Structure 1
């Protein structure tokens, strides 16, 4: 039955894509500007930035894959790779329209005008990126949609059924990621109109993946064997390095131009991550451990997460502070979770969820209108409270939406495809039980 259903899906997608030019012609977005003059430098930079962000998902795969037990390395890396494949297809079919199509109530886009990317070409631009083709903007945003479900996989590693995971990331992308991206980054989105700042995805990507990972860890319950020894530390270092390199596209690319704002975001990304990594290493030593390469790599990623929402809104000095504070809070949140019954396998919530929330709140503290005119009001550090209050309220609302929305999706998916592998398959390892492969 499952094989017949998969064949049917491929046939339907093939037929629709074949005739999409006839069925979905002439779709245009309300937020598309016509007759624009593209800037060659901006186009070149955004092509490079898109590649860099795409590189981050393999980085997640190696980062996570190196941390799990040897019998689950392939499955863990492959969960990131399959996100690249699946979300790309979904995005081109209707995902972009859900996130950036004509506004419906400030919470979702209308996917119909842009089914199979109709109206998304190289002769018009998105209003927030006027010097590059809207198709390039769509490709850049695709990479954000890909990495978010890939990040979630770390919270449910070593025990999730592959087919259940596949269905879950599709539903998550449709019902959680797309509404959140629309609400935050579409000019008519409810969070955007409320003045919520998220330069490159601290809320949309990291808070959402963190809370979703926590929901997944709670829903799937603890692994039968929670012992975890990083099987491939070099993979962890490689993955963290790829993430850091890719993050320059993630943050600096979110300026959508080769300009001074992109340079600031680039510098802030470097500063926050470096100090966060060093802080994590020092905290290990302070707490009676050896300074580990895995710990420093985790600290670097936490800094990258925390600076993401404010990368284009805060000064270089404040980015240092954000990296330091986020590292301290996430370090002790990891310790807290290791002492309770929630089995977030690779600490996705303490690092990405908490790091994203810290970054969101501190953006409300340090955002500076003199740095970026898009800042509606200065942050709390400069004596104004409105932005911080709005960010605090938005943080609560987004957290509740993602956590409980994800629990509902997990419940529904589990009714269709069991999400937890059988005990025997978990004991054997997901590499063999799910994919018939193993690390030699």
Structure 2
């Protein structure tokens, strides 16, 4: 066993695990108060559901011996059958299979969680749990086999996807679009303001994602070597460049540099460099980042033009960013890899995953909708799905108001003056409902 490489992969797995709570904060801050807790839970529950499925059959379907056509692994490793603590990858000197399986488990965990942002504010929590159970089983595990297993058909085609541009981001982005088309628009879409309730949470989530992404990208080298170092450097370069590209576009287009734009631009850069970072130099990473930031900033507006309600811009950032990174590696790859032939391979990889994931994701969303119902009721959506599905709220706003009122001095009125109905001590007219 190579101890240094094993330690590197285990640390990288822990970093990728941290990305899912980071994603929860990123999405959670972008929604309204009444669904903030639900948004956190839609990401966080993936850690439980996908972990169990991965042990039962997910690892075997993704990385088991190919059934013969390059589409799926066999079931020879159900429950990690035949794998022990001393079983190594890479022959005589490698890392334990358990270290590799743990690392790849965290990829499987975060991929369906990425889709949750597209469906924010309006789906049943139980329906979401069922959907991601079906989705990772029928969509993610097979696609991971195509892309990363030596016998997978895209792997044999020599499609470059170092850390998940096709298997993770394109897969999740197009799957989210399919689910959105089944579920429909939020009540008040394009009419009511739906601003983020906590931009500080968004920035916190972005920071955790950026930090964890070094494990996501560099860890995919599966060794503490020069490839990992190159990938780590390119991750930082592309992310910084994408943030600036997004800010520049929105300053020209909308007249302001927004905090939400900076966070979204950084994530777009992280997405775009994921498939390509090990195959390009730092200048290529810089170019990929700038292009991804500007194009993704433009792409998020498409939902208003075409009328699909992608709540938190999963399609505009993850699908578009994944396609940009996957295709640009065909043009910018160094060491003689890039060129028209490689670009064609990259296009086959990107669009074949898009076609399969969209079709199957739409069918799965329809299945969930027709059986237990995917959409929350109108009353639950308007009143807040935090209370409806979790019997909790993200913030105890009632308690805060009570403390403020108890600390305020009682208003004085002249003796003999009758009490009048009117504004309460906080200045809000009585009996008027306030939407927070």
For residues 142-157 of structure 1, the aligned pairs below 5 Å read 142-157=105-120
Q: Is residue 91 of structure 2 the alignment partner of residue 139 of structure 1?
A: no
Q: Is residue 86 of structure 2 the alignment partner of residue 123 of structure 1?
A: yes
* Number of equivalenced pairs: 391
Within 1, Cα distance between the matches of 2:89 and 2:173?
29
Q: CA offset at residue 289 of structure 1?
A: 2.8
For residues 386-401 of structure 1, the aligned pairs below 5 Å read 386-401=341-356
Q: CA offset at residue 129 of structure 1?
A: 11
Aligned position for 1:299: 265
Q: Is residue 253 of structure 2 the alignment partner of residue 287 of structure 1?
A: yes
Aligned position for 1:263: 229
Within 2, Cα distance between the matches of 1:121 and 1:332?
49
Q: CA RMSD in A?
A: 1.3
Aligned position for 2:72: 108
Q: Is residue 30 of structure 2 the alignment partner of residue 67 of structure 1?
A: yes
Within 2, Cα distance between the matches of 1:140 and 1:245?
16
In structure 1, runs of 5+ residues without a counterpart are 1-37, 371-376
For residues 319-330 of structure 1, the aligned pairs below 5 Å read 319-330=285-296
- Indicate the SS of the match to 1:309: coil
Q: CA offset at residue 396 of structure 1?
A: 1.7
Quick check: 1:129–1:137 contact (8 Å CA) kept in 2? Answer: no
Within 1, Cα distance between the matches of 2:351 and 2:258?
34
Quick check: 2:169–2:318 contact (8 Å CA) kept in 1? Answer: yes
Aligned position for 1:201: 164
Aligned position for 2:338: 379
Aligned position for 1:50: 13
Within 1, Cα distance between the matches of 2:50 and 2:338?
36
Q: CA offset at residue 340 of structure 1?
A: 3.1
Within 1, Cα distance between the matches of 2:281 and 2:97?
30
- TM-score scaled by length of structure 1: 0.87
Q: Is residue 276 of structure 2 the alignment partner of residue 317 of structure 1?
A: no
Q: CA offset at residue 338 of structure 1?
A: 2.9
The runs of at least 4 consecutive aligned structure 1 residues that moved more than 6 Å come to: none
Over alpha carbons, which structure has the higher Rg? 2
Q: Is residue 369 of structure 2 the alignment partner of residue 414 of structure 1?
A: yes
- Indicate the SS of the match to 1:277: helix
Q: Is residue 134 of structure 2 the alignment partner of residue 161 of structure 1?
A: no
Aligned position for 1:9: none
Do the aligned partners of residues 61 and 142 (structure 1) sit closer, same or farther apart at CA in structure 2, a change above 3 Å counting?
A: same
Q: CA offset at residue 130 of structure 1?
A: 5.6
Quick check: 1:129–1:256 contact (8 Å CA) kept in 2? Answer: no
For residues 6-45 of structure 1, the aligned pairs below 5 Å read 38-45=1-8
- Indicate the SS of the match to 1:110: coil
- Indicate the SS of the match to 2:88: strand
Within 1, Cα distance between the matches of 2:10 and 2:127?
33
In structure 2, runs of 5+ residues without a counterpart are 397-436
Aligned position for 1:250: 216
Q: CA offset at residue 121 of structure 1?
A: 2.5
